[in-house]
């Protein structure tokens, strides 16, 4: 499942640089997470880095994007392959 940032976000800027997939970006009002890039940090870290650094605990599993671990791993491999092709 992709993660989602909720309205409690205070735009503190700490989550965006922590995302290894560059899935977090500044939205119109708050930071947002691109569900096509979010892997819960699988392949990079043991924990979700954005959740670890968020001072207001406003990042949760997105109920609108249910995914299993196999899907997240497939996304990770696709993103890594895409990064390698862009070098």
Q: What is the pLDDT of residue 79?
A: 93
pLDDT tens-digit series, residues 7-26: 999 999 999 999 999 999 99
pLDDT tens-digit series, residues 50-73: 999 999 999 999 888 888 999 999
Q: What is the pLDDT of residue 86?
A: 64
Sketch out the chain's domains with CATH numbers. 3-85 (3.30.70.20)
C-alpha distances (whole Å) from 41 to each of 3, 29, 61, 68 are: 10, 24, 13, 14
Is it the case that residue 87 has pLDDT exceeding 60? no
DSSP one-letter string for 39-87? -TTTTT-SS-HHHHH-TT--EEE-TTS---HHHHHHHHHHHHHHHHHT-
C-alpha distances (whole Å) from 30 to each of 20, 67, 71, 81 are: 19, 24, 27, 30
- Give the global pTM: 0.87
């Amino acid at each position: 499942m992709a993660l989602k940032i909720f309205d409690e976000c205070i735009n503190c800027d700490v989550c965006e640089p922590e995302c290894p997939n560059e899935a977090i970006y500044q939205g119109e009002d708050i930071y947002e997470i691109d569900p096509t890039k979010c892997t819960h940090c699988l392949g990079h870290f043991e924990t979700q880095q954005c959740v670890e650094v968020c001072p207001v605990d406003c990042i949760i599993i997105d109920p609108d994007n249910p995914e299993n671990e196999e899907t997240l791993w497939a996304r990770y491999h696709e993103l890594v392959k895409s990064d390698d092709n862009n070098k």
